[in-house]
Amino acid sequence: MNCLICSNEFIEKPSWSYLFMIKQPQVICDKCQKKFEQAEMKGFHKDWEGTIFEGFLDSLTSIYSYNEFMNDVLHQYKFLQDVELAKVFREDFVHLKSETAMIVPIPMHPEKLKERTFAQVDELLIAANIPFTQPLQKTMNITQGKKSKIDRTQSEILFSVTENVVGKSILLIDDLYTTGTTLHHAAYILKQAGATNVSALTLVRV
Ligand SMILES: [Zn+2]
């Protein structure tokens, strides 16, 4: 087997969980695996307090923290369109199989999707075999670089809700948590539409 990240050949140690199909076969070498760092910070930025978005996002969990290695892997995944790399993270999402909340990946703006050719967050869930629902539509196409303090007070919401979410518990999935704008906007609009609980899980916390 060749590592999906560094291309070096590696041998997977046989294990019972693999033989019994409990675990998916490893797709990256141990050396690359060790370069990822587990996220330590929990919760979201305090500067959302006192804004119109306060109290809408109930909780936030991130799996990894951002480092140079993660930056390179995400670059290869998102910008070089190496969709295969979604498999690297499938064990990180596999626990969602027993999730009772409605699983909602953060959608891309249709224009952005055309540009990128694949929905990067959807693909993470597809690789892990996790079913999801999409009640959100991205209505504003803003780039990462434009996200700033001003986003916390703006009233123009980045998403609209296109399906009934009344009384639903929702778990939002995103690749990155940076300023929190995306997740706070999504939680705000979902609760306005009647969702009772909105939590979030992100692959990486910057
Ligand atoms: Zn490797």
Mean pLDDT over 151-176 rounds to: 88
Least confident residue range of 48-57, 60-69, 74-83, 141-150: 141-150
* pLDDT tops 50 at residue 144: no
Between residues 24 and 178, the one the model is more confident about:
178
Tell me the helices (H) and strands (E) count for the chain, helix number first.
Answer: 7, 7
* pLDDT at position 41: 73
* pLDDT at position 189: 96
Closest CA to 173 of 148, 199, 193: 199
Mean pLDDT over 99-127 rounds to: 94
Rounded CA-CA distance 5/28 in Å is: 6
Q: How far is the CA of 29 from the centre of ligand 1 (A)?
A: 4
Which residues face 176 on adjacent strands?
204
* pLDDT at position 43: 77
Domain locations in the chain as residue ranges? 1-35, 37-205
Q: What pTM was computed for the model?
A: 0.90
* pLDDT tops 60 at residue 135: yes
CATH fold for the domain made of 37-205: Rossmann fold (3.40.50)
Q: How far is the CA of 7 from the centre of ligand 1 (A)?
A: 6
Contact 53, 184 (CB under 8 A): yes
pLDDT tens-digit series, residues 4-51? 999 999 987 766 666 666 677 889 999 999 999 999 877 777 888 889
Q: How far is the CA of 71 from the centre of ligand 1 (A)?
A: 15
Q: How far is the CA of 202 from the centre of ligand 1 (A)?
A: 23
Q: How far is the CA of 168 from the centre of ligand 1 (A)?
A: 41
Q: How far is the CA of 24 from the centre of ligand 1 (A)?
A: 17
Mean pLDDT over 126-155 rounds to: 76
pLDDT tens-digit series, residues 74-85? 999 988 888 999
Rounded CA-CA distance 130/127 in Å is: 8
